[in-house]
Amino acid sequence: MIIHVVKPGDNIYTIARQYGVPMTDIIEANELQNPDQLVVGQALVVPGGIRRHTVQRGDTLYLIARQYGVSLNALLRANPQIEQGGLIYPGQVINIPAPVSKIGSMEVNGYAFPSINMETLRKTLPYLTYLSIFSYEVRPDGSLSNVNAQPLIQAARNANVAPLMVITNIEEGGSFSSDLARTVLTNEQIQETLLDNIVEILQTENYYGLDIDFEYIYPEDREAYNDFLRNVRQRLEPLGYTVTTALAPKISATQQGLLYEAHDYPVHGELVDHVILMTYEWGYTYGPPLAVAPINEVRKVLDYAVTAIPSQKILMGIPNYGYDWTLPYEPGTAAEAISNTAAVIRAGQVGAAIQYDQTAQSPYYNYYDNNGRRHIVWFEDARSIEAKLRLVDEYDLGGVSYWTIGRYFPQNWQVLSAMYDVEKVL
């Protein structure tokens, strides 16, 4: 796999010719709706293909192979014209083969709402280890909201993907509730009722395990939450079910704030099978314009997380969306959520060139709407996904988790499958 960034004058024909691949391969890999309208700065995944390098003074075959992440033997095979002994000279153009060796294997979780388009789900399942179905909302009496999960569970199991039951402290028709969490976490009888209901659903719906996403818990309920996890583990482990928790993106054990304080990284790391780090939403709906998951900020979370949680239990969160902000930003105004594919299409429609922030490792662009208002759009592309996925190997993580898989993003799965084998537990 090669990632090509569109330059002025590029078109599908010239790009295909540059890398020696059929145009249809590029169109299909990226699911381009309008191949004749490429955007300057747009990242394209080129499956297979040959890159070309112009030799500079001081270059050696060894250094070139290292620069492009290929073996020396692969480089020599792609360049039979190179004389014996590997002599090269400045100005010489040599072929760079696409890397063929994968970094390794990992587990991949994807969150999905029951309303997901089933064709989108079908296309995504081959790349998943787990499918987390969002969500069963906990009620104050320990009962749970109803979820039409069977179509997703059956599709997942047919694709050898393990379905996970997600429970949340979201009030029905509302949002995450600190008071609801307190009611459940501080009452033993309600917890017992909740655990009975969880076990019944796990068994009758044929789930593989439980994913607990309790957020905005009062700091003083931290130990109550830890005790709840112990009760969950004690109840589910003998039955053969796995336990996963979703955790706020903390950068230290003492980080303050309602989102963070009750999430005890060491205790979760000890008790559960996986933790999903919600490493996204630096740029969010009602916040100022920022990359959704800037890699420099993600690193800060991982730097702390691996000191508190066994790294192989960690699934790093990756956002599958972007935002369009109207400028100047005014606190309290909402950005428009946009899919990564739609972000590129919009750039083409408004005539914007896509830029790439090297610090955040994220693409963005600016444009003016029909009313003369300036906008900025931050999203994900093949480059930013590749940068994030490399963190899995760098930090020796167990894998990644996508929020959510509802909008199909073909480049993501092309990049992931080129870099890693997806582990299956079914």
Residue 93, beta-bridge partner list? 54
CA–CA gap between residue 172 and residue 154 (Å, rounded): 26
User: Which of 121, 117, 106, 198 has the alpha carbon at shortest distance from 155?
Assistant: 121
Residues contacting 412, CB < 8 A, separation 6+: 318, 320, 340, 380, 382, 385, 402
Cβ count within 10 A of residue 372: 6
From residue 28, give the alpha-carbon distance in Å to each of 5, 22, 32, 219: 17, 10, 7, 49
28 is catalytic: no
CA–CA gap between residue 357 and residue 339 (Å, rounded): 19
CA–CA gap between residue 140 and residue 185 (Å, rounded): 10
User: Which of 412, 411, 316, 296 has the alpha carbon at shortest distance from 358?
Assistant: 296
DSSP 379-412: ---HHHHHHHHHHHHHTT-SEEEEE--SS--HHH
Are 162 and 209 a contacting pair, CB within 8 Å?
yes
Residue with tokens 């691996």: 306
CA–CA gap between residue 398 and residue 106 (Å, rounded): 6
Question: Which amino acid appears at position 318 of this protein?
Answer: I
User: Which of 100, 68, 197 has the alpha carbon at shortest distance from 142?
Assistant: 197
DSSP 167-188: EE-BPTTS-B-HHHHHHHHT-H
- The verdict on whether omega for the bond into residue 311 sits within 30 degrees of 0, i.e. cis, is no
Active-site residue, from 215, 261, 380, 386 = 215
Strands 362-368 and 355-357, how do they pair? antiparallel
User: Which of 251, 254, 185 has the alpha carbon at shortest distance from 215?
Assistant: 185
Q: Give the catalytic positions in this structure.
A: 215
